[in-house]
Chain A
């Protein structure tokens, strides 16, 4: 990369379903905290990029009343209607042009306002799938899960093991919404069945939440004398074709996104080069698919990672040490929360779920049905 960009400050809200705060307060508090964390004043910001969507927020132009809360008064401002990780990528591009040197990236969703699975149904092809009226994101992912399980002989217990791992990890994370320390495979398989094989505990926990990350260009980082900047070493993003015309079992879009991110960061063997991965798994089986697409396991073999504890908190390559999206899923913010969690780990500020000696981590954000759009970021300490 010509111009290096670093994360200098972060904050996230305590995610929970129905947080007792207005949307404006939620965003304001987190933005304020992130600015304090970065040790800068609002006046020093150059540009602000937010991520939220109109359908989820229940307002056309969802960012319009939040500019003031997020600190964008008379600042360059833009909104990405995507996952927060994509917003971070866009803000990064803005800094890379040298037009601005500090950017604030904010992402939020108040999942309580309206069922996000209904919103997912609104994203379907209005001429075909919305007319047939069967699908939503859970249904589509359930079909994906079935296809994957049939193709590679993965059992439903393997999926439940992912939930057990992530929900257990979430118990250590004070910011997570669904914290189940001692949940067992049996309990996961007894939870309410939505679309076979996806049960309540295999579906991400919708939450109200907000995450803010402050990034700065290298010159500014030096000027500010930031103690532990976390550098964005690589970034990649890719969109796949619509549900009907893509291979659901392999996330080719994520593969391509990961490839460009690895290339940029100079990673040849992700399994050894990375110390930690935080991925957005809206459903238990997605974590397996994602691990394969990221090149951490061969196709169909990701279940071994979970079953052998490789991706567990104390494993070789912990995946979702924070509990991931199964722990808390504030839709648009989820990708940015992954970034925040990586930064916490690299800076050694993760508290009870700290993984020792994290130097390089991968954050992944996704949006759309069955992970249609993916963003991969490689973060590294100094």
Chain B
């Protein structure tokens, strides 16, 4: 019931906005729908925890929820809720400035709910085919939002995003088919051969060669979605040109689905292969992305581009963590993913504020935020502090644990991580130094901006940095044991 509700609210939202989306109160309704979805997902979480096995199946086994997916479901609904709060004011400002018209606003809200829906489908689907369809759907839903402003740059960005992602995902479909094929070949019936639950039961007897082939295609396909180097080229463009709430959703949520899919496949294929090959692949791509982004961050003038490279960097590191395997690293990957989503979406929201106030994305022009717009400046500064890995925010904890986990297996990688972290810190702070602390200009815009969701996201990241509640920890532990086969709490 509650599961149906969770999927029902975004659908209802889509229909509602198709009918009434062009009114000004649509933003408020968007918040309501997102909030209801969030509540439903929390309810689902409670349900799942209370259930005996820790996992639930719905709709004739087509949908499946366990601790791992549930973490991400609640994260998704929560962030889409906070971003919805932010979108309202942001979009109204856009409307008032005539950057968009009412029809575009309506389209935005429809696609917002559609995006939420596809995201939820990705996480809840038990079927690798549906998973693929939803990932593709998420891309399609966001493609036109990226070019919402219809500037030549935004159209170019959207085009690149669209092409690179659908091509990538098409490759992932081949991987999916390979898995399906290998499953069918060991005479699993046709209805079960695409279901995670069934595949897992037969994981040991699937054909290893084919699975390996499948994983390469999946890696390239879903890796495009994660933004792994060298498939990442759409990412900075799309992030920098899309409206701020969209960037927040892209960076906070969309990148996760690719990784989720990849980790799910890793969970399936790893026990079959018996080697660590997949992990090494993921580690390699993660590290390359991490270092690449670290080096790129230095020479940026566009503030959103810079943070999008930071997303590549962090996603690289998270991919690395999952690739590393083992309870600690998997736990870190999961935890990192959650905190990164929270913080990065907060950062992109604050960037939206900054850009709306200063009317510029160029860091050469934005100067002295702390003086001209103290509250906006400080939220962005705190977000930046959090993202570069300083305590008391959760990313610090993840990075510490990640280093420890890496040390236990691959010592020689630790220096690379250290260099990368340093590069990203140096790059970001080097570029942002004048933005925060420079000489501010005198004309101060009096535009109304929304800070509450940013503060909310950051406070949760702060809270998790200081303390992980017992229940949540158990939960993460359960998810970790799903991923790594063994929990982190003994």
A and B interact: no
Measuring CB to CB, which residues of chain A are less than 8 angstroms from any residue of chain B?
none
Measuring CB to CB, which residues of chain B are less than 8 angstroms from any residue of chain A?
none
